[in-house]
Every structure is written in C-alpha cells, then in structure tokens.
Amino acid sequence: MTNNDKLQTPATLSDREVEIIELVTVGLTNEEIADRLEISKRTVDNHISNILKKAGTGVDNRVELVRWALQWGKVCLNDINCCALPNRE
C-alpha cells in the first residue's frame, strides 16, 4: 500500500477521537493533550492507538494522521481546509 493509498478512505471517529486529532494537529504532545482534556496520558495514548488502528485511516504515525485528518475534513489548520465540525454540547 502506498502513502497515497493510505489516505483514500474516511473513517468513522468518535467526538473524543476527533478532539484528540485536533490537538495533535496543533502540535500538542500526548502529555499536553492529557492536561488539556483532564484525562490521563495513558488514555490519550490509547485513543491515538485506536485511531491509528481503525479501518479506514490506514495510517502508521502522527504525521500521516494529520495528513489524513486534513484530507478528510476531520480538522482545520490555520484556516486551511476548514470544515464545519459538529457542535459539541
């Protein structure tokens, strides 16, 4: 599978998984994400691991995850590729 093939499929992600990806996209470490969301670093590690394993993402690391998320409109970065994200209540 080529890098381009890996980016070809959208995946269904939970609201929390999208939130984690948004924070990865802005460059936060897992520890910083944990602090921001008031959860343990291990929980963040598990979320990221689950996202990477999900069918449809086909990515192996954080860089590919950010590329995938931008391609499929899961996140916005510096007003580039901005999308209407669902409201979190």
Distance (Å, whole) CA 34 – CA 55: 25
Name 80's bridge partners.
77
Long-range contacts of 72-77 (CB under 8 A, 24+ apart): 72/10, 72/11, 74/13, 74/18, 74/21, 75/18, 75/21, 75/22, 75/25, 77/25, 77/26
Q: Please tell me whether residue 41 adopts helix, strand or coil conformation.
A: helix
In this predicted model, what pLDDT tens digit does every residue of 34-89 receive, in sequence order? 999 999 999 999 999 999 888 677 788 988 988 888 887 777 766 655 655 455 44
In this predicted model, what pLDDT tens digit does every residue of 8-24 receive, in sequence order? 556 788 899 989 999 99
Structure tokens at 30: 């897992």
